A and B are shown apart, each in its own frame.
Chain A
Amino acid sequence: MNFLAPLAFALTALLPIIVALYFLKLRREEQRVSSTYLWRTLVRDTAANAPWQRLKPNLLLLLQLLILIALIIALARPFTWSDSTASSHLIIVLDTSPSMSATDVKPSRLAEAVATAQRLMAGLPTSSHATLITAGSQSPNLSISTVPVSNFQSLISTGDFASALTMAAALAAREADSEVAILSDSHVTLPPNFTLPSRVRFIPIGSGDNNQAIGAFSVQGDAGGRSLSGFVQVVNYGSSAARRRLSLYADGRLWTARELTLLPNQSQAITLADLPANARTLEAQLEGDDLLALDDRAWAVPPSNAAISVRLISAGNRFLETALRLMPNVELTVHNPISDTQLPTSNLQLPTSNIQLTIFDSFVPTDTLPSGNLLFIAPPRSTDVFTLTGRIDAPVSAPVVADDPLLRYVDLRDVLVQDAARVSLPAWGRAVIVDSKSGSPLLIVGEDGGRRIALLAFDLRRSDLPLRVAFPILLANLLDFLAPGSAAGIPSNVEPGRPLSIVVPPQASAVSLRAPDGQQYRITPQDGRAVFAQTNQLGVYEVSFEASTAAPTRFTVNLFDANESNITPRHTLQIADCKLQIADCSNQSTISHQPSANEWWLQLAWLAFALLVAEWLYAYRGSVARVLESVPHVVSRVRPALNRATTK
């Protein structure tokens, strides 16, 4: 307990004055008795110290002293340091990603984080206000609306942590005395070079790490189409070994089960052969308990045999054409932009064909880009979706992220490129391969307006990449991304919360989707595409097309995210140069954390007032008792008069 105005304690000198006044003021009523003989002996027996005996039974004096003490302490303005912020604007970034549903803290990490947010709110000075930003609110089975957040002045929901921090940074930039509090288990991915312009406090949530997850689950058909084989990857993210049973269900019926012993921090791959060929849905399930149940189930649908229609617009590229023709389930259509009369240069919207992917090789149309996914290779000029700013000589290819799925099994070492176009990174895309010298992107992928786009900045004919093993693998990976294998451009598996762009057959009037919980969605397509964003639930989704002969298709939403499944709490969060730990961290070194002071004078003033009322009631208890006794009498006299008045 500290005091803002300790000089007020000088007023304690009034205490003995009150006592002295009490002695002076006390006029005992004289009462004549026959003899004080018995009283003398009684008082002599009990009164060791007469003055204090006089004080002892006097409740009034005690109450008056307490009132003065309470007022003096209130005037001294006592306060306690609080963990909450002293800032005028507290921005709380609340992680609602799937890992926050772990139950290592009861009832869940998210509930704990919300409770912490409420505590931070309660400790705010009265002049301050707070904003709650949820990060990852589209995570499966988590909704911030289920927790009480009514105390927050404003509530903003964002899709991912980077967006949330960007929002927090924007809000913090508007008020100098802001503070950002991040409540997370730090299983978040932040963009590089991200900074926050205010004080930042990181409050880690969670304590346990016992989690086993299905990291991958896929089903492939054999060459004859008589049976299916499955591949399941089970990962133990915990620090101790675990025994789990892996059960595989085909259309809801148990097909097979395996007992697994999983070593700490190791994965185990299981291949399941001879799965029923006619199964429509396969589900892998880890029996037993761990801290995160979301990743204990995974679903897969057998791959569709529907061919992927790919259109190549090229003046002639043998490497590319050969590689595409060798890929299974690819129906390739090649157009020469110079000689092909079927290719209208003004408009590339081909009349009836359902093209899922268009590849522009060293060519871009002058007019509107066609619908469907696009792959640009060595574009000669800028388009609506990217901008060329020059050329790079002899770029050195290097991956941006080592374990990027698009570069899986792709070895870029010693790949020679003569030159490439310098492309500024568009807002929709991310760089997969960059020039290690200039940092200019060489391969960009992303989604823009519901369609997937990829751009390779160099001409394959001016590189030795087509001569390497890496080329067909890279092309296959790109094809998986741009035309994900199933019909209507629907990939067999979708990340939770990620919007899905569906290529709608021309004659279809609407797209119907049925979520795993049975809820039906109906989407009217625009520009030949329908975008479905409610992919929050894990499980199997069914897609059908109204007024179309196109076969219904299915896709799954699985939490194959190692970052979320690895629930080991981290006590640091790296943002730019600032490694946030449990303690506060500020990007501005001059600003240090200032705990807030909770003042108690108001409570003490109320206490003094309550004591004053009690003292008054005690002093006039006789009068009060008489008044209370007279109430029934008054009521009994008034009631007949009221009754008479009511009757009249």
Chain B
Amino acid sequence: MTKSLLAPSFLAQLDRLVLVTRQSRVGALKGERRSPRHGGSVEFADFRAYAPGDDFRQIDWNAYARLERLFLRLFVEEEDTTVHILLDASESMNWGEPRKFDYARRVAAALGYIALVGMDRLMAAALGSSNGATNRPTDDQSMRPLRGKAQSLAWFNWLSRLHANGVASPTLTLALAHYAATMRRPGRLILLSDLLDDGWRDGIKQLARSRYELTLLHILALEELDPALEGDLKLVDSETSAAVEITADFDLLARYRVHVRDWQAEWQQFCAARAIHYVPIATSLPFEQLVLSVLRRRGVLK
């Protein structure tokens, strides 16, 4: 299964990449991320005047020799950070060639692998469950925190077990709000979705308010960006089975394409207003090119 997600040679390429974080956060464990706290790393951070009770070992005696005053040497603390990956597993993701869900799952696998390699704490959940009204991720759909490259196999296995058969609406907002409320370490959050539901907007607002550093990967299939439809059609929604009757002529298709572009631009503005990193992605773009080139260029990876 792992093999089907990411090739080993590609994993080797991912080892050199790091998830970019714009904020330093307090971590739980020692890690490779710069922490706002001062700690015991080898990297000098600052001086501070001695106060009774301070550790004598941190006194800079050379400074005392010159100045006859006691100063403490402070060092940068390096801790881990929590990377959340939320994957849209609604039925609408199960579409396109390649399927949006497969594409999103491979992107998630790559990003999670990079996080694990970077000794970050990785948490993940699949949204769009079909388990009743709450739409909270079930045990199968939410993953226990993972850390370290050794956990990458567990990460890939978890992803492989996922299926895109849920329904986004109507409890998506609640699900996102719940996720935002229950996570004690907000950290970096990467959301992969096609956003084909009104509930995403309110849910993302909730996440943004919870001090997550959000990255939104908006994944759409080519069939959604430029549909090849013709004639009198009754379009049936794959999730809700709701029908829309159209007569797909040149004029309507042209208006549809304009409509999709406007919609993406609207999301772009929405995200910019909330310091959310928005990356529109078409599944026609080769996956490797996305990870190794586009996401680095867009500042998601480095």
Q: Which residues from chain A sit less than 8 Å from chain B, CB to CB? A: 26, 28-43, 45-46, 50, 54, 57-58
The answer to whether A39 and B255 touch across the interface, beta carbons within 8 angstroms, is: no
Which of B196, B197, B236 meets A31, CB within 8 Å? B236
The answer to whether B95 and A39 touch across the interface, beta carbons within 8 angstroms, is: no
Q: For residue B91, which residue of chain A has the nearest CB?
A: A34
Cα–Cα, bound, A39→B227 (Å): 11
The answer to whether B236 and A32 touch across the interface, beta carbons within 8 angstroms, is: yes
The answer to whether A28 and B245 touch across the interface, beta carbons within 8 angstroms, is: yes
Query: Is B224 an interface residue when CB atoms closer than 8 A count as contact?
Result: yes
**Chain B: interface size category:** 35 or more
The answer to whether A36 and B235 touch across the interface, beta carbons within 8 angstroms, is: yes
Which residues of A lie under 8 Å from residue B263 when comparing CB positions? 38, 41
Which residues of B lie under 8 Å from residue A40 when comparing CB positions? 242, 244
The answer to whether B256 and A34 touch across the interface, beta carbons within 8 angstroms, is: no
The answer to whether A36 and B231 touch across the interface, beta carbons within 8 angstroms, is: no
Within 8 A of A (CB), among B59-101: 91-96, 100
Within 8 A of A (CB), among B201-239: 221, 223-224, 227, 229, 231-239
Query: Is B181 an interface residue when CB atoms closer than 8 A count as contact?
Result: no
Which of B229, B234, B239, B247 meets A57, CB within 8 Å? B247
Within 8 A of A (CB), among B118-158: none
Which residues of A lie under 8 Å from residue B223 when comparing CB positions? 33-34
Cα–Cα, bound, A34→B197 (Å): 11
The answer to whether B255 and A37 touch across the interface, beta carbons within 8 angstroms, is: no
Within 8 A of A (CB), among B235-254: 235-240, 242-247, 249, 252
Query: Is B194 an interface residue when CB atoms closer than 8 A count as contact?
Result: yes
The answer to whether A28 and B96 touch across the interface, beta carbons within 8 angstroms, is: no
Cα–Cα, bound, A35→B96 (Å): 11
Contact status of A39 and B249, CB under 8 A, knowing A34-B96, A34-B194, A46-B255: no
Minimum Cβ distance to chain B for residue A618 (Å): 13
Which residues of B lie under 8 Å from residue A43 when comparing CB positions? 244, 246
Query: Is B11 an interface residue when CB atoms closer than 8 A count as contact?
Result: no
The answer to whether A35 and B233 touch across the interface, beta carbons within 8 angstroms, is: no
Which residues of B lie under 8 Å from residue A41 when comparing CB positions? 259, 263
The answer to whether B224 and A34 touch across the interface, beta carbons within 8 angstroms, is: yes
Minimum Cβ distance to chain B for residue A417 (Å): 103
Counting residue pairs across A and B whose Cβ atoms lie within 8 Å, the total is: 89
Minimum Cβ distance to chain A for residue B283 (Å): 11
Minimum Cβ distance to chain B for residue A26 (Å): 6
- Please, could you name 19 A-B residue pairs with CB atoms under 8 Å apart, sorted by A? A28-B233, A28-B234, A29-B232, A29-B233, A30-B236, A32-B235, A32-B238, A33-B238, A34-B221, A34-B223, A34-B224, A34-B238, A35-B237, A36-B235, A36-B237, A37-B196, A40-B244, A41-B259, A43-B246
Which of A26, A38, A42, A57 meets B196, CB within 8 Å? A38
Which of B194, B198, B232 meets A26, CB within 8 Å? B232
The answer to whether B238 and A31 touch across the interface, beta carbons within 8 angstroms, is: no
Query: Is B260 an interface residue when CB atoms closer than 8 A count as contact?
Result: yes
Q: For residue B197, which residue of chain A has the nearest CB?
A: A37
Within 8 A of A (CB), among B176-209: 194, 196-198
Most buried by B among A30, A36, A43: A36
Q: For residue B95, which residue of chain A has the nearest CB?
A: A34
The answer to whether A58 and B247 touch across the interface, beta carbons within 8 angstroms, is: yes
* Main secondary structure on B side of the interface with A: mixed
Which of B224, B234, B247 meets A30, CB within 8 Å? B234
Cα–Cα, bound, A28→B229 (Å): 13
The answer to whether A29 and B234 touch across the interface, beta carbons within 8 angstroms, is: yes
Contact status of A34 and B231, CB under 8 A, knowing A43-B246, A46-B255: no
List of 5 A-B pairs having minimum Cβ-Cβ separation, nearest first: A34-B95, A35-B196, A28-B234, A34-B92, A36-B237
Q: For residue B198, which residue of chain A has the nearest CB?
A: A37
Q: For residue A53, which residue of chain B has the nearest CB?
A: B247
Minimum Cβ distance to chain B for residue A643 (Å): 41
Q: For residue B224, which residue of chain A has the nearest CB?
A: A34
Q: For residue B168, which residue of chain A has the nearest CB?
A: A35
The answer to whether A29 and B196 touch across the interface, beta carbons within 8 angstroms, is: no
The answer to whether B246 and A39 touch across the interface, beta carbons within 8 angstroms, is: yes
Which residues of B lie under 8 Å from residue A54 when comparing CB positions? 245, 247
The answer to whether A39 and B247 touch across the interface, beta carbons within 8 angstroms, is: no
Which residues of B lie under 8 Å from residue A39 when comparing CB positions? 235, 244, 246, 256
Q: For residue A37, which residue of chain B has the nearest CB?
A: B196
The answer to whether A42 and B259 touch across the interface, beta carbons within 8 angstroms, is: yes
Cα–Cα, bound, A42→B236 (Å): 15
The answer to whether A36 and B247 touch across the interface, beta carbons within 8 angstroms, is: no
Which residues of B lie under 8 Å from residue A36 when comparing CB positions? 235-237, 240, 242-244
Which residues of A lie under 8 Å from residue B194 when comparing CB positions? 34-35
The answer to whether A38 and B238 touch across the interface, beta carbons within 8 angstroms, is: no
Minimum Cβ distance to chain A for residue B87 (Å): 16
Extra A-B contacts (19), CB below 8 Å, given A37-B197, A43-B244: A30-B234, A31-B229, A31-B233, A31-B234, A33-B95, A33-B235, A34-B92, A34-B100, A35-B92, A35-B194, A35-B197, A35-B237, A36-B243, A37-B196, A39-B244, A40-B242, A50-B245, A57-B247, A58-B247
The answer to whether B247 and A29 touch across the interface, beta carbons within 8 angstroms, is: no
Which residues of B lie under 8 Å from residue A42 when comparing CB positions? 252, 255-256, 259
Within 8 A of A (CB), among B261-293: 263
Cα–Cα, bound, A29→B196 (Å): 23
Which residues of A lie under 8 Å from residue B255 when comparing CB positions? 42, 46
Contact status of A35 and B232, CB under 8 A, knowing A41-B259, A57-B249: no
